[in-house]
Structure 1
Amino acid sequence: MNRINLIALGVRDIRKSLNFYKEIGFEASVVGDEEKPVIVFFKNEGSRLELFPLEELAKDINVENPPALSTGGFPGFTLAYNGKSAAEVDDIFKKVKDVGAHVVKHPQPLSWGGYGGYFVDPDGYYWEVAYGADWQFDENNMLMI
């Protein structure tokens, strides 16, 4: 087991989250219809991102005793987009601010020599958008580590 195929985000308002992600550039494949989506899969490069109603995701884990839902705060993980230039990072932050994302760390030079910042999506998931001058990407636009 050495890959992640799908990252499912439990969301409180799937339509609102669908619109947010579409507005910042994700291409969606909706199960159901756009007005009443059941599940959303995004056709992004690399690992796939999925939106799933939060309470239903908890029930999917255990229908009889679902895990307690988070009441907010830092969930203990971040999602990341690795840009190919500082200008690309700035462009993404402009786009996410335009659609109402909360920027928690504006793009800036970072201690390790890169450039980036963080924003929070409508459900409180933290996204890092960063660029590193030495980064290389494979033919699928995945960061080579």
Structure 2
Amino acid sequence: MALYPFEKLAEDISPDIPVTRSGFNGVTLAHNVSSKDEVVEIIRRAETAGAMIIKEPQDTFWGGFSGYFADLDGYYWEVAWGPMFEFTKNGEMKFKEDP
């Protein structure tokens, strides 16, 4: 879980999201993956299942790659890959240690 300023999170998703409490509520669910291709694959699967794509997968300001969709209940999901992500054999994500 991460806490991030409401306005900055809305800006990260799309400049078109109104920064009000009547729609986007400042909460996203994140799914971190091990490759850029996996980001695209999951976003496309969500779209096929009826999700609304909010932000197409693209490079991010923080050096990663991510996209956002809204599920059928209106919750926003970020699917993200980052060069600092590392996954164990069990699929657990951790941040790479600096060399």
TM-score over 0.5 for the pair: yes
Matched, 1:123 2:73: yes
The match for 2:54 is 104
Q: Which runs of 5+ in 1 are unaligned?
A: 1-70
Q: Which runs of 5+ in 2 are unaligned?
A: 1-20
Identical-pair percentage: 45
Q: Which structure has the larger Rg over C-alpha atoms?
A: 1
Matched position secondary structure for 1:136: strand
The match for 1:92 is 42
Q: TM-score, normalised by structure 1?
A: 0.48
- 1:102-137: CA deviation from partner (whole Å, max 9, x where unpaired): 010100000011001100011111100010122112
Q: Distance in 1 between matches of 2:75 and 2:90?
A: 25
Q: TM-score, normalised by structure 2?
A: 0.68
Matched, 1:141 2:91: yes
- Name the Cα RMSD after superposition: 1.7
- 1:20-56: CA deviation from partner (whole Å, max 9, x where unpaired): xxxxxxxxxxxxxxxxxxxxxxxxxxxxxxxxxxxxx
The match for 1:132 is 82
The match for 2:24 is 74
Q: Is the 8 A contact 1:102 1:119 kept in 2?
A: yes
Instruction: Give the Å deviation of 1:139.
Output: 3.9
Instruction: Give the Å deviation of 1:80.
Output: 0.7
Pair 1:81–1:91, CA change in 2 (3 A): same
Q: Is the 8 A contact 1:72 1:124 kept in 2?
A: no
- Structure 1: 4+ residue segments shifted above 3 A: none
Q: Say which structure, 1 or 2, has more relative contact order (CA 8 Å, 6+ apart).
A: 2
Instruction: Give the Å deviation of 1:99.
Output: 1.4
